[in-house]
Amino acid sequence: MNLSPIYDVFNSLPSEHLQISVLSILISLFIVSIHNRLKNNQFSKYFDYLLLVPILIEIIYFIMCMWDGVWSINNSLPFEFSYITSLSASVYFFKRTRFLLSVLYFAGLWSSFAAFLNTNLLGNEPWYLLLKYYGHHGLTLYYGISCYILGFRPNLNDYYNAIKYTLTVIASVGLFNIIFGSNYMFTQSKPGGVNLSQIMPEWPFYLLIIILMGLTFYSLILLIGIKPKINDSNLEN
């Protein structure tokens, strides 16, 4: 099996992406470690407000896009998979359900993992787009790990719910793209930037491959996280 094309993609990642990705990961892990130490402390409740940060990021992004006159329905909405997943954390702030926990665990970890190993950024983006990209992905990493350290242990039903969520989001955004001529979640064509889709077959096969990669990742973290069984009902309160 020739792995050189995959190596070439990773070797071509912009240094800026690698540096900011590493910084985002370190910040996320640092916050996770603090949260873990304080999870039984009275101050742990203040970490809940981090669930609202995705909304703040989108507000800043919207204001700056309007300020620069670049807002467009075709590329400025938070309709990428990771952004939708990140914003679901804000929904969890108001409505705590196990379904949303499964979304944050499975989809959150997958979207951050994929975004840091690949990128659709071209290297000339304004600061507020970088904030949106790395902010959301750093947050989804934090949310996914936090679910686990706070007691969430996935089961098969959570796994199936995450798959249903993923396929529903892809189908819904794909329909939106058809109606408005956009390309959110790259359901219509491959993304730009440096990413593995460059060495994949053309549409629709690259999309199917990416979906299968995500579902494989879901299966892996299901096996990793499924034990030991502990009481995680308090996460829904």
Q: Please write the tens of the pLDDT for every residue from 134-174.
A: 999 999 999 999 999 989 999 999 999 999 999 999 999 99
With b for 16 or more beta-carbon neighbours within 10 A and e for fewer, the 136-170 pattern comes to bbbbbbbbbbbbbebebbbeeebbebbbebbeebb
Task: Note the pLDDT of residue 142.
Answer: 97
What total of structural domains would you count in the chain? Answer: 1
Q: What is the pTM of this model?
A: 0.92
Model confidence at 220: pLDDT above 70: yes
**Can you give the residue range of the structural domain that contains 227?**
4-236
Higher pLDDT, 141 or 11: 141
Model confidence at 228: pLDDT above 70: no
Q: Please write the tens of the pLDDT for every residue from 161-218.
A: 999 999 999 999 999 999 999 999 999 999 988 899 989 999 999 999 999 999 999 9
Task: Note the pLDDT of residue 1.
Answer: 57
The CA-atom distances, in angstroms, between 52 and each of 41, 57, 65, 86 are: 21, 9, 21, 10
Average pLDDT over residues 55-69: 98
Task: Note the pLDDT of residue 226.
Answer: 79
Q: Which helix (H) or strand (E) holds 219?
A: helix 205-225
Task: Note the pLDDT of residue 186.
Answer: 96
